[in-house]
Amino acid sequence: MMQLFRALLVALVAVTLAFVREARADSTVLDASGLCATEGTDVARAVEQIAARRDALAARVLSAMLDGDLRVDASGAPFLAQRGDTYQALLAGSGAAKPPLRTPVVDNQLRRQLEPAIAGLRLSVADDDIRLSAAEDLAKHRNDELAPLVRKALQSEKNAKIREKLSLALAQVDLSSDDKQKRLGALAAIKSAADATFKPDLERLLLKDEHGVFREADADVRRAAASALGSIDSRVMLYSMVGNLFYGLSLGSVLLLAALGLAITFGLMRVINMAHGELLMIGAYATYAVEKFFQAHFPAHEDLYLIFAVPAAFCAAGAVGLLIERTVLRFLYGRPLETLLATWGISLMLIQTVRLIFGAQNVTVANPQWLAGGVEVLPGFVLTYSRVAVILFSGVVVAFVWFMLQRTPLGLHVRAVTQNRDMAAGMGISTRRVDSWTFAIGSGVAGLGGVALSQLGNVGPELGQGYIVDSFMVVVLGGVGKLSGTLAGAFGLGIANKLLEPAAGAVLGKIAILGFIILFIQRRPQGIFALKGRAAEVT
């Protein structure tokens, strides 16, 4: 009995407390009609009243008012005007707007009252996200009038991230303050945040005027400014390194997709397929064709085209590869140099054919919705989804090729023929069939590379030509017969390319890498991961 009574009491207290809190900031009651008053002083008073609520609703109403999107209906309930003449109720459960709708007039005087009021409101709410976004907004522009408010918010703020933004907002004002301590404080805040937007301000501090006198008289402040500048520079450098690493990784995975098939077929048949780049191009055009097909027949499911493009590109490039092997390569066995020329001839015909079918102009393959855009992980460095997807995709393809080579009967035969063709034939393996299938699969993998390329840039008949030299270099660097060599070669080249680019320029970087490869094969003519023993003798 006693227990039940106690439980009831607790429940009662809880309900009462909840009610009280509700009453203090009731999200269903807010009379905005005062905002539409004709007298400026009445409006100002209404703004003050709403701001005094100190809750998120007040912030929303006032910022809507500042943006000119606030509508007030006959009952005084606030609404947010949206596109297409629809109105969103700002009060929970206030129902449809009752006409007539009025729009509060915002003049400059009111604007000056509204801005700090909104900023103050947003900085004082309990929600961390709102306070953070308010602090970020404040840090974007210098605003002297809001400085006292920011200073006050900074004193009570506990969240470190918000504190940083607030002190940056304050630093913009304090940097030109007369108080040396304030300037030093501002510089310390800038230094710890290492925000690149301050770079011009800091550089200005270190300049001399026309008489050779420093603009900033105080040596301590100058020293602090230089040190802040240093930390900004090293941060910028770090970010660009991270960015280049990412681009290198994505270039590496494209090279990997391009070189994978080449390395397999070269290892197996010792022939260089100069039409390999064109197989990439065919894969890219297959993607384009599938996209156009979906646009024409399934416009509602257009975003799914990419999923169907993967097998389509694999099959298209694989079929062309099989055709090349059956009609040309198989008759040139043991004559690698002639094969090189014949496949070059094939590549010319493939380019011309694609030109006649699709036109000589480049076409664009649109990213599906779910690959468009990206996420800004660091300031100024956007991780685009398409590039991330290409990196992941190349991982999947490598897994597929690894599985094919290591876990299937065909893979076993491929490895046997790669190591010793005559012996494999002697053991009853049909080397010709192995050649055909391997060539088809290697070509199909190139087609998959084409799908990846279509997501990164334009698609044109000469797409493959740009990648052929680089993918040969991957094969030279990585050696043949080992997947790990191709992996290391592709990512090594891709990352080295992108890291050298900012320092030496794209062209000199490429030349440096070629020089490096030539020197590298002085020491290891068989590539990074050479097969050892007798298998290495075949060349």
Partner 1 sequence: MSAALTRLEPVLPKRGWAAFGAVALLSILLVPALNSLSPSSALHLPDYLVTLFGKFLCYATVAIAMDLLWGYAGILSLGHGVFFAIGGYAMGMCLMRAIGEAGVYRSKLPDFMVFLDWKELPWFWRPMDNFAFALVAALAVPGLLAYGFGFLAFRSRIRGVYFSIITQALTFAMMLLFFRNETGLGGNNGLTDFKQIYGYPLHAAGTKHALYMLSAAGLCAAFLICRFVTTSKAGRVLRSIRDQESRVMFLGYDPTRFKLFVYTLSAVICGFAGALYVPQVGIINPSELQPSNSIEMAIWVAVGGRGSLIGAPLGAFVVNGAKSWFTVALPNAWLYILGLLFVAVTLFFPRGLVGALSRIRK
Q: Which residues make up the interface to partner 1 (CB under 8 A)? A: 266, 270-272, 274, 328, 331-332, 335-342, 344-349, 351-352, 356, 469, 472-473, 476, 506-507, 510-511, 514, 517-519, 521-523, 525, 539
Q: Which amino acid is at 347?
A: S
Reading the block at residue 186, the tokens are 């501002």
CB 198 within 8 A of CB 232: yes
Shorter beta-carbon distance to partner 1: residue 334 or 409: 334
Shorter beta-carbon distance to partner 1: residue 9 or 337: 337
- Give burial (CB, 10 Å; 0-12/13-18/19+) of 497: buried
Distance in Å, CB of 524 to partner 1, minimum: 9
Shorter beta-carbon distance to partner 1: residue 368 or 478: 478
Q: How far apart are CA 18 and CA 155, in angstroms?
A: 29
The b-or-e profile of 39-64 (16+ CB within 10 A means b, else e) is eeeebbebbeebbebebbbbbbbbbb
Distance in Å, CB of 351 to partner 1, minimum: 7
CA 333, distance to chain mean position in Å, is 46
Shorter beta-carbon distance to partner 1: residue 369 or 522: 522
Shorter beta-carbon distance to partner 1: residue 186 or 258: 258
How many CB atoms neighbour CB 109 within 10 A? 11
For the chain, the straight-line distance linking the first and the last C-alpha, in angstroms and rounded, comes to 95
What beta strand segments (E) does 129-232 contain?
none
Distance in Å, CB of 341 to partner 1, minimum: 5
Shorter beta-carbon distance to partner 1: residue 125 or 251: 251
Shorter beta-carbon distance to partner 1: residue 19 or 331: 331
Q: How far apart are CA 61 and CA 225, in angstroms?
A: 41
Query: How far apart, in Å, are the Cα atoms of 457 and each of 209, 254, 277, 282, 358?
Result: 48, 12, 16, 15, 17
DSSP string, 103-138: -----HHHHHHHHHHHHHHHHHSS-HHHHHHHHHHH
Shorter beta-carbon distance to partner 1: residue 340 or 410: 340
Distance in Å, CB of 350 to partner 1, minimum: 8
Distance in Å, CB of 474 to partner 1, minimum: 11
Distance in Å, CB of 480 to partner 1, minimum: 10
Shorter beta-carbon distance to partner 1: residue 117 or 493: 493
Counts of helices then strands in the chain (DSSP H, E): 20, 5
Shorter beta-carbon distance to partner 1: residue 75 or 352: 352
Q: Which amino acid is at 386?
A: S
Shorter beta-carbon distance to partner 1: residue 298 or 331: 331
Instruction: Find out whether the peptide bond into 148 is cis, omega within 30 degrees of 0.
Output: no
Q: Which amino acid is at 267?
A: G
Query: How far apart, in Å, are the Cα atoms of 315 and each of 62, 201, 253, 280, 458?
Result: 59, 58, 21, 12, 21
Distance in Å, CB of 466 to partner 1, minimum: 10
CA 506, distance to chain mean position in Å, is 22
DSSP symbol at 413: H
CB 270 within 8 A of CB 408: no
Distance in Å, CB of 518 to partner 1, minimum: 6
Distance in Å, CB of 222 to partner 1, minimum: 37
DSSP string, 455-496: HHS-B-TTTTHHHHHHHHHHHHHH-SS-HHHHHHHHHHHHHH
Shorter beta-carbon distance to partner 1: residue 375 or 519: 519
The CA-CA-CA angle for residues 198, 199, 202, to 5°, reads 85
Q: How far apart are CA 451 and CA 467, in angstroms?
A: 14
Shorter beta-carbon distance to partner 1: residue 385 or 516: 516
Distance in Å, CB of 417 to partner 1, minimum: 18
Distance in Å, CB of 511 to partner 1, minimum: 5
Distance in Å, CB of 445 to partner 1, minimum: 19
Distance in Å, CB of 443 to partner 1, minimum: 17
DSSP symbol at 271: -
- The 3-state DSSP class for residue 76 equals coil
